[in-house]
Chain A
Amino acid sequence: MKISGAEGLIKSLICEGVDTVFGYPGGQIIAVYDKLYDYQKEIKHILVRHEQGAIHAAQGYARSTGKVGVVIVTSGPGAANVVTGLGDALMDSTPLVVITGQVASAFLGTDAFQETDVVAITQQLTKWAVQIRRPEDIPSMVARAFYIASSGRPGPVVLDIAKDAQAGFAEWSHRSCNFIRSYNPHPEIPVSDITEIADMLNNAERPMILAGHGVTIANAEQTLMCVAEKGNIPVATTLLGRSNLPFNHPMHKGMLGMHGNLGPNIATNKADVILAVGMRFDDRITGDVKQYAPDAKIIHVDIDPSELNKIVHAYKAIHGDAGQLLTALLPLMKHRDRDEWLKLFKKCEEIEHREVIDPELHPNKQKMNMGEVISIVSEHAPENSICVTDVGQNQMFAARYFGCRSHRAFISSGGLGTMGFGLPAAIGAKIGAPRREVILFVGDGGLQMTIQELGTIMAYDVNVKIVLLNNSFLGNVRQWQELFFQGRYSQTEMTNPDFVRLASAYGIAGENVTVREELEGAINRMFDHKGAYLLNISIDADDMIFPMVPAGGSINTIILNPTTKLSL
């Protein structure tokens, strides 16, 4: 029996295991929405308030579940509004299938109403983008899309479906895809490489593991922990790999990079062997590449071969899956005493506590710091909480002071650094993991970039705990202006609305926290409340995120506070 392309699309989505989609209807996708009406039992559609919200929510969903996030939007402006999210998902390896409506094929190229060349725009921001003009192509393209989005290095895929392909009728049958001749997402790591890596690590005096998002994506956190414990090797995590090990695990030495912990950065430049797994040596991690890890033989393992030798030269570059590598490595790991080496981390921790962490958590002033707020929220948060952040100081403080203790517990916009990511991503994360507490740390700037999604929270009763770290400034830019532009705060001061009243207009409970004494009680009320909650916390605008490796500097020259610089 022939069915419409629109119905075939819905049925194919169901075949691929989709039960939730995020979207916004419009003229060129109306046929699909008409069919969604018939499949409400099978597919829950979350109607967002702006298409950018849809894609960030789908990212949050994908990140909290490991499944493919699905977005449905219309042509033209609808498609254009998801572009930022595509770039974000591509950089952060997030599996998405984004379905955009398109004008009927006869109108393509005529500047028809709401026509835009979606494939051309999205080619550089997706893993794969294709236009579908015939209903009979829909099932196979959907199958391909899911295979490409979820395999290898995951990423976003765009299916641009012309109106006549949605409306036309064709026979439908769906077969999932597991092979494309020109694509190999399952590289085998040769056994000889595994034994060589194991030997290098076992024989190293000062080894280190740099664990990135690839470990999370491969669900290999447990294996990583076992490798680190068995081999007695310290682990440092990237921003997106923050939940690879529990924050308080003795082998977890903290975060790498610009605002990372002292130990991991200093140790990188003293290590003799570095195993970098599922990470890509972002410039925020390496600082000046010429001065990066000078003494180390770097073993770089990544599922994306184009990442190998892209930024740093690897002594051994291995194209492979993080999970496969760690699993194969585990039985070969040998314990070795490395007391001297581990002492370095201890020493760095002491300095960092004295110079940075203690002043941040226990300031001698009336105004509150971001770090102390996040730290107290973290102490009160359930063990399996998911921490979602926006971008900027709130993100860096959350990465440093929120203690992740469970799988896929840290969701943030890493590579692209998209302000406005946080609120919709938190919504998606919660919808994907309804039994986990989802806590969003967001600034007053970023919140207002996608604040319309409070409407989505209202409509679907999404229980997200919003911790607004409000300093009435674009804090991170202000910090750079303070440190590097003589305190000239060009266009960074924000005149803000009354956020609690705004939330209240959406039926979201909340309260202002202006003094430290109110903080703990407010946090308790937030977690006790059944439903979304907004804490609008007044933060000292002078609070800055430290330590800091200035952009392009060496990672062992670190600013500890405005007056102290450390060189180790």
Chain B
Amino acid sequence: MDSEKELFTVSVFSENTVGLLSQVALIYTRRCINIESISASTCSIPGVIKWTITSIATRHAMEKVVLQIEKCIEVLKAFLYTDDEIVYQEVALYKVDTSLLMDEPHLEEIIRNHNARILDINRDFTVIEKTGHYSETTALFEELKRYNLRQFVRSGRVTITKSEREFVSEYIEKQNQRKNGSQQG
């Protein structure tokens, strides 16, 4: 049995229902698995919410978590991924003093090197945005830390699978067939 802990991404496709978040969170809590990041949004399927949850645990534990999540009535499907199976991205925001931006010649270079962009600027502060992997947004954080970084925040991960097939659409298709069958029968 694989007992090495590693970073896993769980993708959950669900209906948009009150209370589902706490139900899913409790599945992690019960097994004492910390959620590293979480994000949720609409997806290409009308009415369906896609959640992306990352956590560090053993594969064995995560396989069970996914089955328990799928057991929630309003969950359509849940999938377990490692980083090589998905395309993923995060966005980070950094707030620095505008005066520093004026005075520090290196800042412009740093922003340029990291492919970051200025989102908002006023007399007092400037907000820089960087999208990328965790390591990339962290790298920029490490550099900006030296320049009196006032705020730093990073979003949860969003992911797209590298799979050829769209399993959720297939599932919904199958379910619709079942629905039509049961209504005729």
Contact = CB atoms under 8 A, between A and B. Distances in A.
Interface of A: 119-120, 123-124, 127-131, 148, 178-184, 186, 304-306, 309-310
Contact of B26 (A124, A131, A182, A186): A124
A309 B71 CA distance: 15
Most buried by A among B30, B67, B73: B73
The 4 nearest A-B residue pairs measured at CB:
A306-B67, A182-B76, A179-B179, A128-B73
Contact of A181 (B15, B64, B183): B15
Given A179-B179, A182-B14, A182-B15, A123 B68 contact: no
B178 A186 contact: yes
A305 B67 contact: yes
Given A129-B19, A182-B75, 19 more contacts: A120-B19, A120-B22, A123-B19, A127-B73, A148-B73, A179-B182, A181-B76, A181-B172, A181-B175, A181-B176, A181-B179, A182-B15, A186-B178, A304-B71, A305-B70, A306-B64, A306-B67, A306-B71, A309-B63
Contacts of A128: 73
B27 to A, nearest CB: 9
A535 B136 CA distance: 75
A530 B134 CA distance: 75
B23 interface: yes
22 contacts: A123-B22, A124-B23, A124-B26, A129-B19, A131-B18, A131-B19, A178-B182, A180-B73, A181-B76, A181-B175, A182-B15, A182-B73, A182-B74, A182-B75, A182-B76, A304-B71, A305-B67, A305-B70, A306-B64, A306-B71, A309-B63, A310-B67
B23 A123 contact: yes
A201 to B, nearest CB: 27
A304 B70 CA distance: 11
A171 B185 CA distance: 29
Contacts, number: 52
Contacts of B176: 181
A306 B75 CA distance: 14
A123 B178 contact: no
Interface string B145-185: 00000000000000000000000000010011011001100
Nearest to A120: B22
Contacts of A183: 73
Nearest to B23: A123
Nearest to A180: B73
Contacts of A305: 67, 70-71
A430 to B, nearest CB: 32
Contacts of B67: 305-306, 310
Contacts of B70: 305-306
Contacts of A182: 14-15, 73-76
Interface string B4-37: 0000000000110011001100100010000000
Contacts of A310: 64, 67
A399 to B, nearest CB: 28
Contacts of A148: 73
A475 B183 CA distance: 54
A95 to B, nearest CB: 14
B178 A184 contact: yes
A124 B63 CA distance: 19
B19 A119 contact: yes
Given A179-B178, A181-B15, A182-B14, A123 B64 contact: no
A38 B176 CA distance: 40
Most buried by A among B14, B175, B176: B175
A181 B15 CA distance: 9
A254 B27 CA distance: 36
A306 B178 contact: no
Contacts of A123: 19, 22-23, 26
Nearest to B47: A181
Nearest to B18: A131
Contacts of A180: 73
B178 to A, nearest CB: 7
A178 B182 CA distance: 8
A124 B68 CA distance: 11
A149 B152 CA distance: 47
Contacts of A304: 71
A310 B14 CA distance: 23
Given A182-B14, A183-B73, A184-B178, A306 B26 contact: no
Given A123-B22, A179-B182, A306-B64, A184 B175 contact: yes
Nearest to B74: A182
Nearest to B75: A182
Nearest to B13: A182
B103 to A, nearest CB: 50
Contacts of A184: 175, 178
Most buried by B among A124, A181, A304: A181
Interface in B24-73: 26, 30, 63-64, 67-68, 70-71, 73
Most buried by B among A130, A179, A309: A179
Interface string B74-95: 1110000000000000000000
Nearest to A129: B19
A148 B22 CA distance: 20
A428 to B, nearest CB: 26
A154 B80 CA distance: 26
A353 B68 CA distance: 43
A309 B67 CA distance: 10
B183 to A, nearest CB: 8
B137 to A, nearest CB: 34
A124 B19 CA distance: 12
A119 B26 CA distance: 13
Nearest to A309: B63
A221 B68 CA distance: 29
Contacts of B26: 123-124
Nearest to B30: A124
Nearest to A304: B71
Contacts of B18: 131
A90 to B, nearest CB: 11
B68 A306 contact: yes
A310 B183 CA distance: 35
A261 to B, nearest CB: 31
Nearest to A181: B175
Nearest to A147: B73
